[in-house]
Structure 1
């Protein structure tokens, strides 16, 4: 009779081989952003009505920045870095997604010429928002 104790290490070894699926930028946008910014990024999501300040129209970021997509600023906003001192209110209703975007890092230039190690999911969301530009 085989011991069931041999099955457990085999199952653990197989589980280690299963690759974790990383959501795409579009999937993360739909999960974390679309409720406020809307599916097309225009700031018209169903949760936008309940906010004191309308969410940004993400389709106009490049236009408002002289035609260049402000990737570094977009990433800082998604990451939750607002330049506000710790313990002070940022005044922004945007939640901080930093803890959700930890994981594998990839080099990314957000437009400032500097390749910065950045969580892959953060890069994917920023690239998705870049794709929404009009």
Structure 2
């Protein structure tokens, strides 16, 4: 019986966190663009095509972030992109790879559906950056 009570309490906490967020509080694509320019453009370029000032100095140049969905059969892999940004997934690059962005994990949480229909409390800045990267997807 105790595991059921614990599960119920965790579920209620998640619902409370999600209910506390109103649509006005959700991050905007413009918030994500500002974070991208501040954290990512040095390597990925202002246009996110992998041509930033540091790209020439890297053994393995950064990927074109505008083609993530195209490389995944037209589907934007939200979970994988989040994992790459927050450093949970490490790249198989020789030499320095993508840095972890701990500051993006700080601050308040907003609900995010990563594609499984479950609203998961996720750091606002991380969601903003994800939304921006998803918004710039192109077809080949």
The TM-score by the shorter chain falls in which range? 0.7 to 0.9
Q: Retained in 1: the 8 A contact 2:104–2:123?
A: no
The structure 2 residue matched to 1:31, chosen from 38, 43, 54, is: 38
Mark the runs of 5 or more structure 1 residues left unpaired by the alignment: 1-21
SS of the equivalent of 2:122 reads strand
SS of the equivalent of 2:82 reads helix
Equivalent residue, structure 1, for 2:79: 72
SS of the equivalent of 1:73 reads helix
Measure how far apart 1:90 and its partner are: 5.7
Q: TM-score, normalised by structure 1?
A: 0.73
Q: TM-score, normalised by structure 2?
A: 0.70
Segments of 4+ moved more than 6 angstroms: none
The structure 1 residue matched to 2:124, chosen from 112, 117, 120, is: 120
Q: Which has the higher helix share?
A: 2
Equivalent residue, structure 2, for 1:62: 69
Q: Deviations over 1:38-58 (max 9, x none)?
A: 111110111111111010110
Equivalent residue, structure 1, for 2:108: 104
Counterpart-to-counterpart distance in 2, 1:56 and 1:71: 16
Equivalent residue, structure 1, for 2:50: 43
Mark the runs of 5 or more structure 2 residues left unpaired by the alignment: 1-26
SS of the equivalent of 1:24 reads helix
Higher radius of gyration, 1 or 2:
1
